[in-house]
Amino acid sequence: MNVRAVVADLRVGFLDLVFAPICASCRAPVSTAEPDRLVCRVCWSRIREVPAPRCARCWTPLAPGRDPGPRCATCRDLPAAIRVVRSAFVMGEVARNLVHSLKYRGWSALGEPLGRRMASLQFPLDVEEEARAVVPVPTSRTRARERGYDQAALLAESFAARTGRAVAQGVLARTRDAATQTALHPDERRANVAGAFAVPAERRREIRGEHVLLVDDVWTTGATAVACAQALLDGGARVVSVATFARAIPELGRWWGAGEG
């Protein structure tokens, strides 16, 4: 008998009695028999993948009947060295609740199941073969102190562990604390993060000539990811691809009706 395992099981059982697990999205109780105790099955069933047809490069959904060619209006504005963008889910109610719980409510353990689902994203063959270094978008020092962790780093660790990659923590750093992006318009977002990231000189050799996979929680306008990608390219990276847990797609309300509720 493995005494340590028995003690661990007893401890988990005791905690379940005192602190019954609840869903990070809907706050409903989660069965202790569930393998994923942080998000209930109902919420996972309601979350919505980015619908097809999509732009093959930047993953932007295209209006019904639109030919999904190699470029769309959105990715024409992206730097040429951003190879592809991929997001696991649409930023609807469930995805928003999970991201907010991870970022603002102290649910740091959510980094593991959210990153696990990001690991199922499909990338073109060249990205799968070349992009071995995973770089999280760094949060500001102020927010890291407030939260006690960096949410993008938690996603990156889970994502990398399940895709056979390595996290290059600290390769990308903030040069200044930018204001929150939440209430800003696209042009304001770009100005807010312009020049806010850099690769420290002593870390540049780690990404020189490499295809880097940038990880963040949400793609909204792409302003933060583009600023980070530019910093990585300036620091010596050859090309950058992007993976996020969720993606804000306001036009879905017009094209397909409301997303997951």
Give me the CATH number covering residue 202.
Answer: 3.40.50
In this structure, the answer to whether residues 20 and 83 fall within a common structural domain is: no
In this structure, the answer to whether residues 148 and 58 fall within a common structural domain is: yes
In this structure, the answer to whether residues 106 and 158 fall within a common structural domain is: yes
In this structure, the answer to whether residues 173 and 123 fall within a common structural domain is: yes
Please write the tens of the pLDDT for every residue from 217-227: 999 989 999 99
Q: Which residues contact 92 (CB under 8 A, 6 or more apart)?
A: 46, 47, 48, 258, 259, 260, 261
**pLDDT at residue 67 above 80?**
no
161: helix, strand or coil = helix
Of all residues in the chain, the percent with pLDDT exceeding 90 is: 62
* Residues linked to residue 167 through DSSP beta bridges, in sequence order: 134
DSSP label at residue 184 = -
Give the pLDDT confidence score for residue 10 in this predicted structure: 41
The whole-number average pLDDT for the span 53-58 is 91
pTM of the full predicted structure? 0.85
15, HSE (Cβ side, Cα atoms, 13 Å): 10
The whole-number average pLDDT for the span 187-191 is 55
